[in-house]
Amino acid sequence: MVGWILERRFVKFTTEVPMQERFLRLAAGLMGYYVLSLVINPLIKEAVVGTAGTIMTCFLQMPYVVFLFPFVMARWSERVPR
């Protein structure tokens, strides 16, 4: 919920971009999510064992999907001329 509020208030991510940019965003987002899921989450689960580690990893994934990635893409779109 917090990520959604932050995205709505500060990022204002839009999908009204050319199709090629949509595919680039998709590829970048998936790669970032895979790095988070396959590299960072196991490191956290190894450092924090049990349910606490699982909860921490879930709380990292959702803000990435809802806030962090849209924030990065919105800033990138501002700098790249169309």
Ordered by start, the domain boundaries in the chain are 18-79
Which amino acid is residue 50, in one-letter code? G
Alpha helices in 1-82 (DSSP H): 2-6, 19-35, 41-47, 51-63, 69-79
pLDDT averaged over every residue in the chain: 86
**Rounded to the nearest 10 degrees, what angle do helices 69-79 and 19-35 cross at?**
140
Distance CA 18, CA 10 (A): 22
This prediction's pTM: 0.73
Give residue-wise pLDDT tens across range 46-63: 999 899 998 999 888 888
* Residue 7 in this model has a pLDDT that exceeds 80: no
Higher pLDDT among residues 75 and 35, named by residue? 35
Task: Say if residues 14 and 73 touch (Cβ distance below 8 Å).
Answer: no
